[in-house]
Amino acid sequence: MISSSMHLSQLLKLNITGNTVFKDVVPAGYRIKRIDIATTGDRTGKVLSIGTSAGESDVVAEHRLDNARVSYDLTVGLRQFSPGVPQTLYVNDGGGKPWNGMAIDLIITLEMGVDGPGA
């Protein structure tokens, strides 16, 4: 975690260039408040999905990227996970073109659940 204040934390994952697994990235008792990305390289036809297992898109459904924008505030579907267990997230190419020549910086803002960790 790179910062923490008032039960908010931000995670920063830099230079993601393909399907990636972030084991136990969401601590027990936290939920996702928002996900932002910044991109570099050619984004034409590229798609981003984030899920709770490989190839899934239950956290961020297939989000299409384009060359008109370099940063995005993603729509988050699934935000809350099991309160007593850390959650692994899978970043996937979402069925679009392979991410050749493109990289993503991922910023996940987390907030502590109402009852705190392990509740």
May I ask the CATH architecture of the domain 3-112?
Sandwich (2.60)
Q: Is the pLDDT of residue 96 over 90?
A: no
CB 56 within 8 A of CB 95: no
* 29-54: pLDDT as tens digits: 999 999 999 999 988 888 999 999 98
CB 88 within 8 A of CB 70: no
Annotated domain spans of the chain: 3-112
Q: Is the pLDDT of residue 71 over 60?
A: yes
| φ/ψ bin of 67: left (φ > 0), alpha (ψ from -120 to 50), beta (otherwise) | alpha
- pLDDT, position 117: 45
Distance CA(1)–CA(10), nearest Å, equals 6
